[in-house]
Amino acid sequence: MSVSEKEAWEEVIRLVVETVSRELSVLDTLPGHSFSIPVEVSNRHCHLTRETFELLYGKGQQLTPIRQLSQVGEFACKETVTVVGPNMRFLENVRIVGPWRKHDQVELSFTDGFYLGLELPTRLSGDIVDSPPVILVGPKQAVTLKEGAIRAARHLHLSPDEAQRFQLRNGDKVDIEVPGTNGLVFREVIVRVSPTGRLAFHIDTDEANAAGIKGTGFGRLVR
Ligand SMILES: [Zn+2]
């Protein structure tokens, strides 16, 4: 085989591999196909306004990022708060997730809610109207939030490109299966498409424990 023939064959093989990989990656997005969606477990955390943070930590204090999260621009901070509920119990070391938000919001599991004496509504992040009040304690002082304690609704993040690949739109609801001895199908998962979104299925610690997920896992669309 001449050098030019060899190069031509290599080009053909490269094209075949590329085409097959592309077709397979589309297969990964189809309901019932391989478990390709990363599952991420959100521990209890809060999002704060700059004003509330400065009340808790002191004027001019800044958030200290310690870990970037999967969603672009979001980061876990060194700073934490103590959350106090109406039955006089509290949870320490509740991590602040940056950047600043327009509203204060504390995301807790149902188990946390029972412990603190809070009846938590299941909401998408940002939807806090009429959610229960809660007290936050920082190193400087305590702050009472008039509302903001929620249980985060299970949701699937995607970038616009990923949404197109999965043929999903913002606000759609899907079912996602996770495998294993304690495997489950999570119903009513809300699809969130955003330019800063990256493919990830977000559940809380109660949901992760129920499905036997430790740390991270993978799921697939079943509908
Ligand atoms: Zn999320």
Residue (of 163, 183, 179, 191) closest to 29 by Cα position:
163
Whole-number pLDDT of residue 216: 86
Distance from residue 22's CA to the centre of ligand 1 (Å): 27
Whole-number pLDDT of residue 116: 98
Q: With cut-offs at 50, 70 and 90, classify the pLDDT of residue 27.
A: low
Distance from residue 190's CA to the centre of ligand 1 (Å): 10
Classified as helix, coil or strand, 220 is: strand
Distance from residue 215's CA to the centre of ligand 1 (Å): 15
As given in the structure block, the two tokens for residue 154 are 């299970």
Enclosing H/E stretch for 165:
helix 160-166
Judge if the upstream peptide bond of residue 65 is cis by omega within 30 degrees of 0.
Answer: no
Distance from residue 202's CA to the centre of ligand 1 (Å): 5
As given in the structure block, the two tokens for residue 78 are 């060194």
Whole-number pLDDT of residue 223: 73
Distance from residue 155's CA to the centre of ligand 1 (Å): 6
Distance from residue 157's CA to the centre of ligand 1 (Å): 6
Distance from residue 8's CA to the centre of ligand 1 (Å): 47
Q: What percent of the chain shows pLDDT beyond 90?
A: 81
In the predicted model, what is the mean pLDDT of the chain?
93
CA distances from 70 to 67, 120, 171, 175 (A): 10, 26, 20, 21
Distance from residue 183's CA to the centre of ligand 1 (Å): 21
**Over the stretch 127-170, which tens digit does the pLDDT of each residue have?**
999 999 999 999 999 999 999 999 999 999 999 999 999 999 99
- Residue 21: other Cβ atoms inside 10 A: 10
Distance from residue 150's CA to the centre of ligand 1 (Å): 14
Distance from residue 192's CA to the centre of ligand 1 (Å): 8
Residue (of 192, 100, 182, 93) closest to 152 by Cα position:
192
- Long-range contacts: 129-137, Cβ < 8 Å, 24+? 134/83, 134/84, 134/85, 134/106, 135/83, 135/84, 135/85, 136/46, 136/52, 136/56, 136/81, 136/82, 136/83, 136/84, 136/104, 136/106, 137/56, 137/81, 137/82, 137/83, 137/84, 137/90
Q: Is residue 106 exposed (0-12), middle (13-18) or buried (19+ Cβ within 10 Å)?
A: buried
Distance from residue 23's CA to the centre of ligand 1 (Å): 28
Helices and strands in the chain: count of H runs, count of E runs: 5, 15
Enclosing H/E stretch for 57:
helix 50-57
Distance from residue 40's CA to the centre of ligand 1 (Å): 8
Q: How many residues does the chain have?
A: 223
